[in-house]
Each structure stands twice: as structure tokens, then as C-alpha cells.
């Protein structure tokens, strides 16, 4: 508890700005001093080394060099596609033919038949005319938004959208409006007040929200967009391959695929690879190839990753990526957490938050869980408000019920040790 008391007055934002009469690198020294002390900051479990490929039980190396096994509840590769035999074989085949890197941007000499195949597969997956693949997921949102929007346009965001979306909005120079998470009445209020002459309108939302695990109300959003002449962009990073009748995402879940103008997704989550994409009309994709700076000025994705991703989308196209098994594991994880009295908020996806509400207890809990053999993600400011801090869990497809039971037992024991909830469930 001494560690917690020492860290009460230390906040993330304390180290963002240069102090008066301080050298530019002064803040880096201040951070180093804190991290080298015995104060818990929540950084203790960040940057752990993996000793082998990610799977349901993984081996990690602590910063002191100690290795131990953990039940993996902190990987975005929840479909285990990064280790799928067909995916690995596809990557190996591409490596042998094209080498490990492209050596040029996509618009020059960085494209192969494999790259074109992947874009065609993704376009077909979303039933759109074309698709553009970016070498970075973060750069996908930044590139798409800043290319299509400019001064005089207006972008309306859900407050819980990913940081890369907001960064793209800022870079675009467009007017930015924000509505409280999931509040459709507030969104309508914003749309009601838009000047008629401001016709460049884009509503952006995550499909599955990365910190809460809930879904955007795409049926209502697309209806409002139609009524107010707005375009719609959905970042379905955590929905692709999982949400929807055939795993085609949040728009499929709400049956509004034809009403989404920009289908953005990440190849680093369910697909288990790297990069991102935007599936849209032929004209929009053509424009992005010329005006999206994060595409035009970035070296193309390495062929081995593209080769693996082509195999991923073959599996996704036929709904053979293990989605049903993952959903079964996810529902079992949620059920066991609830039975143990833990607060999982309003999760509707493979992302399961465990609400902690106390940042200092969160830091201690996070550190103890890892050492006890359960790896989870920690979420606090600036990703969410401190009073809404949490653990974030992602069940993997290959987890067994026994492993889930063990993980839930350990989490529950640690949560109640710190009296995070008033009473323990029977």
C-alpha cells in the first residue's frame, strides 16, 4: 500500500509538457526517475518479451529476465490466425518468392500480385468495388480521414472512437464535432445545427469499441446519415471476422452494409497480421491512392505478411476461421466473470472489460495478475477516464474451459483481495 500512496499524485499528463526553465528532454528524465523507483505506475507489465509465438498459454520474459508462463488474455490475435498452419505456409511461400521487404512505396514498385489479390479479396468480403491496403493500422485512419476531409468539412465522432481517428480528424483541418458515446439524440442535435452550406459531412464511429467491447448503433447512425446527407465511415477493427452472421462485421450485424461508405478495418486484430484497409467505391479508393499521405509516402507491406493475410481472408470468406469457437469461449468467459461478481460493463464482442474504477488498485492488480500467471491488458487515462479504468480481456479461440476457469479464479481472488467491489459473489 505504500507504493500506491506514493503514486497518488503522479499522473500521465504531468510529463507531457516542458516545465519553465527546463530543457526539452527534462520531462524524459523525470519519467525515468519515476520508473526507476518503487512506485507502481501501471508500466510494470508493458513491453514483456514473448519467448515464442502467441498462443493460449504463452511464455513471457519479465524485465528482470525471469521467464514464466501466462494464460493469454491480452492478445488481439484472438482467432489464433497468426499461428494458423495455412497462414504460415502462405507467408513462407511469399517470403521465398518476393523476399522479406518490398523496398518501395505502393505507388511505385512496392506492389505484387499478392497485394492486388488481398485488396480484391477484402473488397469482395465487403461487397464493394475496390479496396486499399495500408502498411499501418493507425496510418489507415489518419490517411483516409486527412485525405478525404479538409477545411470547411465537418466530421462527427463518437467520443469513444480510437485515438487514430481523432488524430486523423485533427490533421484534416475539418471542423470536429463529438457526441457522447452511443448517444443518438445528441448526434441528431449536432446534425440539426449544421449549416446547410457545410455539405462535406462525415460521421465516423468504431464498429466494436476497443475499450468497452460494445457495438455502435449502426442502424440508427446510418438512418441519421441518410436523413442529413452525411457519409459514414466505420472502423471495424475488432468486428471483422467475428461480429455478424458470417463475420463480416458490425454493419452485417445491423444489416446496413450498403449504407456504409467507408469500410475501414485493421489487419492486426482478428486477422493476426499487420496494417489496415479501406473498402469503398472505385473512385474513393483511387483518390486515396493519390491523396492519403500515409499510403503514398509509406513503404508497401512486406510480401510475407500479405501472403499470410490472403490465406486469412480465404478462411474468413468461408467463415472457417474459428469464429464460432471464439464466440463460445468469449461467452463462457463472460459467464464465469459474472458468476464471480465482476463488472464487465456492456461487452457485446470478443473484448471483455473488467471494471476496476480505482487507478491505484488497478496498477497493483495488474502487476500481481501477470506474476500469478494471467496476462491481461491495462486500460486507464488517456485511453479512458481514470474513474473508468479497467482490465481488458480478450479470450482466444484455442483457450480451454479449464484455462478460462483458472484465469477467472485468479482474477477474482486478486480483485477481492483489494476490495474493489463491496461484496464477493457467492
- Cα–Cα distance, 237 to 268 (Å, whole number): 8
Structural contact between residues 162 and 205, judged by C-beta atoms closer than 8 angstroms: no
pLDDT band at 185 (very low <50, low <70, confident <90, very high): very high
Give the pLDDT confidence of 115-129 residue by residue, as tens digits: 999 999 999 999 999
Strands 130-134, 175-179: pairing is unpaired
The C-alpha cell that represents 426 in the structure block: 457467492
Give the active site residues.
Answer: 210, 238, 269
CA distances in angstroms from 22 to 18, 40, 226, 372, listed in the order given: 6, 25, 52, 41
What angle (nearest 5°) sits at the alpha carbon of residue 422, between those of residues 420 and 423? 115
Q: Taking all residues of the chain, what is their mean pLDDT, rounded to a whole number? A: 93
Query: How many Å apart are CA 174 and CA 154, to the nearest integer?
Result: 5
pLDDT in the model for residue 298: 96
What pLDDT score was predicted for residue 276? Answer: 98
pLDDT classification of 168: cutoffs 50, 70, 90: very high
d(Cα 114, Cα 100) in Å, to the nearest integer?
13
Q: How far is CA 197 from CA 153, 160, 193, 309, 385, in A?
A: 10, 28, 12, 43, 36
Up-side HSE of residue 184: CA atoms within 13 Å toward CB? 10
How many angstroms separate the Cα of 86 from the Cα of each of 240, 306, 315? 19, 13, 9
Amino acid at each position: 500500500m505504500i507504493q500506491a500512496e506514493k503514486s497518488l499524485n503522479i499522473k500521465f499528463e504531468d510529463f507531457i509538457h516542458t516545465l519553465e526553465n527546463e530543457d526539452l528532454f527534462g520531462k524524459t528524465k523525470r519519467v525515468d526517475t519515476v520508473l526507476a523507483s518503487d512506485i507502481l505506475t501501471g508500466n510494470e507489465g508493458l513491453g514483456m518479451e514473448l519467448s515464442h509465438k502467441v498462443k493460449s498459454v504463452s511464455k513471457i520474459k519479465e524485465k528482470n529476465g525471469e521467464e514464466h508462463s501466462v494464460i493469454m488474455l491480452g492478445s488481439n490475435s484472438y482467432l489464433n490466425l497468426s499461428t494458423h498452419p495455412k497462414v504460415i505456409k502462405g507467408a513462407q511461400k511469399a517470403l521465398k518468392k518476393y523476399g522479406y521487404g518490398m523496398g518501395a512505396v505502393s505507388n511505385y514498385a512496392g506492389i505484387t500480385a499478392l497485394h492486388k489479390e488481398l485488396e480484391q479479396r477484402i473488397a469482395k468480403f465487403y461487397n464493394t468495388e475496390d479496396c486499399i491496403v495500408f502498411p499501418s493500422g493507425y496510418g489507415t485512419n489518419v490517411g483516409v480521414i486527412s485525405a478525404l476531409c479538409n477545411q470547411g468539412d465537418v466530421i462527427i465522432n463518437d467520443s469513444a472512437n480510437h485515438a487514430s481517428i481523432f488524430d486523423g480528424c485533427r490533421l484534416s483541418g475539418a471542423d470536429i464535432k463529438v457526441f457522447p458515446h452511443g448517444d443518438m439524440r445528441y448526434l441528431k442535435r449536432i446534425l440539426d445545427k449544421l449549416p446547410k452550406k457545410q455539405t462535406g459531412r462525415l460521421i465516423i464511429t468504431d464498429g466494436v469499441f476497443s475499450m468497452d467491447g460494445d457495438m455502435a448503433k449502426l442502424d440508427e447512425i446510418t438512418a441519421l446519415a441518410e436523413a442529413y446527407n452525411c457519409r459514414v465511415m466505420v472502423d471495424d477493427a475488432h468486428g471483422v471476422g467475428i461480429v455478424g452472421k458470417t463475420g463480416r462485421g458490425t454493419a452485417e450485424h445491423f444489416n446496413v452494409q450498403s449504407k456504409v461508405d467507408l469500410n475501414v478495418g485493421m489487419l492486426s486484430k482478428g486477422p493476426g497480421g499487420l496494417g489496415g484497409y479501406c473498402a469503398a467505391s472505385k473512385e474513393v479508393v483511387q483518390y486515396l491512392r493519390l491523396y492519403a499521405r500515409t499510403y503514398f509516402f509509406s513503404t508497401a507491406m512486406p510480401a510475407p505478411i500479405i501472403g499470410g493475410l490472403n490465406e486469412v481472408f480465404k478462411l474468413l470468406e468461408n467463415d472457417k476461421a474459428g469464429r464460432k469457437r471464439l464466440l463460445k469461449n468469449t461467452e463462457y468467459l463472460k459467464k464465469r466473470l459474472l458468476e464471480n461478481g465482476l463488472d464487465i460493463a456492456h461487452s457485446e464482442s470478443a473484448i471483455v472489460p473488467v471494471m476496476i474504477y480505482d487507478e491505484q488498485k488497478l496498477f497493483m492488480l495488474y502487476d500481481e495478475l501477470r506474476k500469478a500467471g494471467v496476462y491481461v491488458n491495462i486500460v486507464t487515462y488517456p485511453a479512458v477516464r481514470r474513474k473508468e479504468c479497467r482490465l481488458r480481456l480478450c479470450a482466444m479461440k484455442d483457450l480451454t474451459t479449464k484455462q478460462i476457469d483458472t484465469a477467472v479464479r485468479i482474477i477474482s481472488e486478486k480483485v477481492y483481495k483489494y476490495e474493489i467491489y463491496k461484496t464477493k459473489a457467492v
